[in-house]
Amino acid sequence: MAEPESTPTGPAAAALLSAGAGALLLALLGMLGDAWPAAAKALDIWPPSGPLSGVSLAAVAGWLALWAGLDRAWRRRDIALGPAGRIALAMLVAAGLLTFPPLSDLLIGK
């Protein structure tokens, strides 16, 4: 009996890493908007929501671009999911911490 073909793990690793990077990008862009008025003005795409509109749009665009790029590069490769998952988790934890106002205010000098 023939062994079934294994599915490459590259697309899963791409999804994990891009999710972590997207969350981290969201946190960093949020801090950027809080730290510099010029950045906040540039990120203010829709006035009722303020800079958050540009922060969200840029973070989602970055996440999708990274996911598409990594998926294309790793589509047929086997990537170790353990390290990819740990890196993604570290980025998610960092993003969560950076969105905590006392910490982000401390880091940007407010």
- For the stretch 31-74, pLDDT in tens is 999 999 999 999 999 999 999 999 999 999 999 999 999 999 99
Specify the long-range contacts of residues 47-54, CB closer than 8 Å, at least 24 apart: 54/29
pLDDT confidence of residue 1: 63
Q: How confident is the model at residue 5 (pLDDT cuts 50, 70, 90)?
A: confident
Contact (CB, 8 A) for 34 and 104: yes
Handedness of CA 75, 81, 85, 87 (dihedral sign): negative
Q: Please check the confidence at residue 98 and state whether its pLDDT lies above 70.
A: yes
d(CA 95, CA 34): 15
Contact 67, 15 (CB under 8 A): yes
**Residues 6 or more apart in contact with residue 60 via CB below 8 angstroms:** 22
